[in-house]
Chains A and B, each alone.
Chain A
Amino acid sequence: MDNNKNILIVEDDLFLLDLYTQFFTQRGYHVTSASDGEEGSKKAFEGKFDFIILDIMLPKKSGIEVLKDIKAQDSSIKSVPVFMLTSVGYDEIIKNAFQIGANGYFLKSMILPKQIIDEVESFMENENKNQNVNQ
């Protein structure tokens, strides 16, 4: 199974990172992973991704800062959908992430690793449909 989609996952909990990687690989995604903010920013600029999953609480550089880095670029990476992961839902942080340009967020504790894929996929499907309608 191969759907030729490249994704980047930035998450510092290594077990969760491994699980997300495994589940996405199962569905045929090519996964690039990073376990801290600096590595995340670096890899985001190096590769071409269909979407990015980004934890907020990260060592070295927070997910919000990585998100700012990505959205401040002039290249195509600016338009890559970014989904935020948080462990505790603080409205302020989530609101802030959306203002900067996040496309969605997941509360890590409310959603199981497997469900994240379903949610992301259904979001991307809707997005594609909307784009087709607009065209």
Chain B
Amino acid sequence: MDNSFSIFKVAVVFALFAILGYFMASFITSSFTLVFFIWIVFTLIVLFLYLSFYEILESINKKFKSIKSSQDKEDKILKNDTNISSNSASLDTTDFVSITAHEIKTPVSVIKGYTDLLLSDKDISKGVSSEAKEYIKRIESSSSQIFSLVENLLNITKIENGQMSLNFEKFDINDLIEEVLDNMENEASLKKIKISFSANKDLPQVIADRMKIEEVLNNFLSNAINYTPEKGEVNISAISDEKFVTVFVKDTGIGISYNDQKKIFSKFYRGDAVNVKKVGGNGLGLYISSKIIDMHKGKISVESEENNGSTFSFSLPINI
């Protein structure tokens, strides 16, 4: 903002306050001078405070603007599907976020390392009571949450600055699903959830970033397991038409209200039901998944009914 303009503004405000004070003081005729004097001093103090905070406010304002513009940029970048390097100001923020994120992850991995050791080494865990073991498990699962939150934040900074690039390769989506299922088996069996999948041999191979699609599948499946009560079922299937290969992950979980469905792919959004059911998470997984699928020029969607399960799906174009 122009400096002379703000001084002019301050002068006008002061004058208005002085006039207001004059009229107010004239009502209290007994001590006109005193009241008017106090009023002027008060006005000066307020103006002084305002001016000293002015710079701070301005800098905060600028910060907000830069965040906003980087969000606008993200949309443009995703639409163009190119890696535009951002301007230096937002690059600094990215570097800052990414360095901080890495710095946070190192001590968290130390915490996870020691809890691992406590639970896996028979000599060390010999004298540990079962209650203490339960607490250690909780420490372990909480630090896992921090670990994945930070990983997601790293992903988001990359996405929002157009630094996420795709490494395309040709692969069979059935194999990838099998792999992801192997990793999830433990989690599912803890909740006694039955996962079914029969490979569709007619699927053509897709050309996509295998690791990123694995991330999407991981996210879909862990959501399905998290939001499905014990002894529920999760079913995975894949089909194809001329243009797309589509993967469905269907669960018998708590479902998502129509309102939540519309916002579920946005950043930090977590459904209302989450608060009631107390399911852990940070509201970033589906946002990242949707961005990954967007970058592949695919489609991501959800179909659900409250208390009646959900089906998440993504489609990848066969010919890119």
A residues bordering B, Cβ < 8 Å? 13, 15-16, 19, 22-23, 26, 87-88, 107-114
A110-B105, A112-B116, A114-B113 known, 9 other contacts, Cβ within 8 Å: A15-B113, A16-B106, A16-B110, A22-B121, A26-B121, A87-B106, A109-B102, A111-B109, A113-B113
Q: Is the CB of B121 within 8 A of A19?
A: no
Q: Is the CB of A88 within 8 A of B113?
A: no
Query: Chain A residues near B106 (CB, 8 Å)?
Result: 13, 16, 87, 108-109
A26-B121, A88-B99 known; A109 and B105 CB under 8 Å?
yes
Query: Chain B residues near A88 (CB, 8 Å)?
Result: 98-99, 102
Query: Chain A residues near B103 (CB, 8 Å)?
Result: 87, 109
Distance, CA A113 to CA B106, complexed state (A)? 10
Q: How many A-B residue pairs have CB under 8 A?
A: 49
- Nearest CB in chain A to that of B105: its residue: A109
Chain B, interface SS category? helix
Q: Is B37 an interface residue (CB 8 A)?
A: no
Q: Is B46 an interface residue (CB 8 A)?
A: no
Distance, CA A43 to CA B112, complexed state (A)? 29
A15-B110, A16-B110, A88-B98 known; A23 and B105 CB under 8 Å?
no
Query: Chain A residues near B112 (CB, 8 Å)?
Result: 112-113
Distance, CA A88 to CA B114, complexed state (A)? 22
Query: Chain B residues near A19 (CB, 8 Å)?
Result: 110, 113-114, 117
Distance, CA A59 to CA B288, complexed state (A)? 38
- Return the 9 tightest CB-CB contacts between A and B, nearest first: A109-B105, A113-B113, A19-B113, A109-B102, A15-B110, A88-B102, A109-B106, A114-B116, A112-B109
- Nearest CB in chain A to that of B144: its residue: A112
Query: Chain B residues near A111 (CB, 8 Å)?
Result: 109
